[in-house]
Structure formats: structure tokens, C-alpha cells
Amino acid sequence: MNETSLSSAQNPKVKAWAGLLDKKNRDRSGQFLVEGVHLVKEALLSGASIGTIVYDAERGIPAELQPLLAEADGIIVAATRAVIAKCTGTDTPPPVFAVVNKPHADSSFLYRTDSLVVVLDGVRDPGNVGTIIRSADAVGADAVVLGKGCVDLYNPKTVRSTMGSLFHLPVVEGDLCVLLPEAKAKGIRLAGTSLQAERDCFHCDWKGPVWLLFGSESDGLSAAASDLLDLNVIIPMRGKAESLNVAMAATVLLYEALRQRSFT
């Protein structure tokens, strides 16, 4: 990488980086921010297209990143704490952040043999979306689909919540009105959860190709998505909790699928 330095928070480059905290600027530029040593390291290890890496000049380049930066393309910038604070969304400025080009998600992963895909319909909480992507990565799911109404995948809070899993599996943003009928036409079952369902998730066969659909906690699945479901299941609960949040529910079903596919 070519190295340079910046000290003014009013520099045009700094203003452009700070602008990536807003979705409209991420959409226009095709770039997003990755904050912190762990996430920058995951981006580098995954081979993500990184335009610039900015580190705190006072603290120096984090030791974990030094061997990776030697082989990386792009620009590395030493910046003041004020510059980093302006460009990041956390209360305490991280020691490093990166400007990353949005990847092109390969939708062919959605239709692999025995595919296991998570589909989110109107899930707006960035922490939940990030956690679900992380859980899908943990069980080796093929992909995650974000339908309309979901939080922006590249929202800094979403990116942080993925803990790097964003770089490990395809995350496709698409129109469920198109994708769900296509999946059914290819013989993929569509499954959802409901408190009114009669079958529990532990007595269903998750070994074949299946897409797991989850809606927002307040509204659930849209009517259009619900009408296409092949299977509705309930997650049994023995305590007094009325329900699980969407990230926990997705994780339960993903791990039951993993158990059946790999440990029986």
C-alpha cells in the first residue's frame, strides 16, 4: 500500500469518508466503512476490495494488521484522532478503519444442492440482521437474503454486528416477490415460524434444500411471503417467555438444521 497522512478533519477526503455514515452516500459511491482491528483484518483476509485504510497516527498500525498490509493494494493513511472520530460511528474512535468497495453477491449460491438460506423480510434492527448473518456463517449456511424493508446491509451498526461474517458468505439484497417463487420453482421449501403453528421445529426434516424466512418482530412476515410458505413451525418454549427475538429464533432453526445435516 502507498502511505500518506492526514491531520485536518476538514479535508475533502475526510468529508467523503464521513459521508459514508449515510446510506445515500454509500449507495452513490458503492463503498462502506469497516471499523476496528478485527473487522479490518477480516476484510483483508477475505480479499475484499479495499480502497483506503486509515489508522490512528498516535497509536500506530495495529500489530495484527502489519503483515497483511504489506501484501495489500490501495492506500494507507495515518490520521489524527479527530479525523477518525469524524469518520466512525462509535463513541470511542477505533484505532483503524477501512473504506471498502461493496462486493457483488453471487446469487448462484442461493440454489445450490441442499441449500440452506436465511431470508429476512422487513427486519429493520441492525443488531438483529448482523447477528443473523453471523449465525448463518457459523452453521455454514449458503447465503443470506435481505428483502425490501430490511436495514441497509452496510449500515455501520449492521457491519459491526456481523463481526466479520459479512465477508464469509454471500449476502444478497433482492426482491422477495421474485426470489421466493423462483426458489419454489426449483424445488426449494420455504419455511417460517409462527406461534400458532402445530409442528415444532425439532420434529421437521431440515436436510433438504430449504430457505428459512423471518420477518420483523413487530409485524412478522409480509402477507406475500406468508402465502408462499410450504412449512410453518413453532419453537417450543417451556418457560414463561412469550417469544424469542428474530435473531435468536433464526439461530435456533439454523442450529437444528446443522444438527440434522451434520450430527445424525
| Domain interval for residue 214 | 107-262
Assess whether 6 and 83 both reside in one domain.
yes
Q: How far apart are CA 212 and CA 235, in angstroms?
A: 13
Number of domains comprising the chain: 2
- Domain end residue (candidates: 80, 101, 122): 101
Assess whether 149 and 132 both reside in one domain.
yes
Assess whether 132 and 218 both reside in one domain.
yes
Assess whether 201 and 131 both reside in one domain.
yes
Q: C-alpha distances in angstroms, 228 versus 79, 241, 246, 264?
A: 52, 29, 20, 30
Assess whether 123 and 208 both reside in one domain.
yes
- Residue 33 pLDDT grade (very low, low, confident, very high; cuts 50, 70, 90): very high
Assess whether 12 and 48 both reside in one domain.
yes
Question: Per-residue pLDDT tens for 231-263?
Answer: 999 999 999 998 899 999 999 999 999 999 999
pLDDT, average across residues 41-62: 95
Assess whether 129 and 78 both reside in one domain.
no
Assess whether 187 and 236 both reside in one domain.
yes
Residue 183's identity, in one-letter code, is: A
Assess whether 153 and 241 both reside in one domain.
yes
Return the residue matching grid coordinates 443488531. Answer: 127
Assess whether 122 and 92 both reside in one domain.
no
Q: Give the side-chain half-sphere CA count within 13 A for 51.
A: 14
Assess whether 26 and 126 both reside in one domain.
no
- Domain end residue (candidates: 57, 81, 101): 101
Assess whether 153 and 60 both reside in one domain.
no
Q: What is the pTM of this model?
A: 0.94
- Domain end residue (candidates: 75, 101, 127): 101
- The whole-chain average pLDDT of the chain stands at 93
- CATH number for 204: 3.40.1280.10
Contact (Cβ atoms closer than 8 angstroms) between residue 183 and residue 212: no
- CATH number for 44: 3.30.1330.30
- Residue 2 pLDDT grade (very low, low, confident, very high; cuts 50, 70, 90): low
Please state the length of the chain.
Answer: 264
Question: Per-residue pLDDT tens for 166-214?
Answer: 999 999 999 999 999 999 999 999 999 987 888 999 999 999 999 999 9
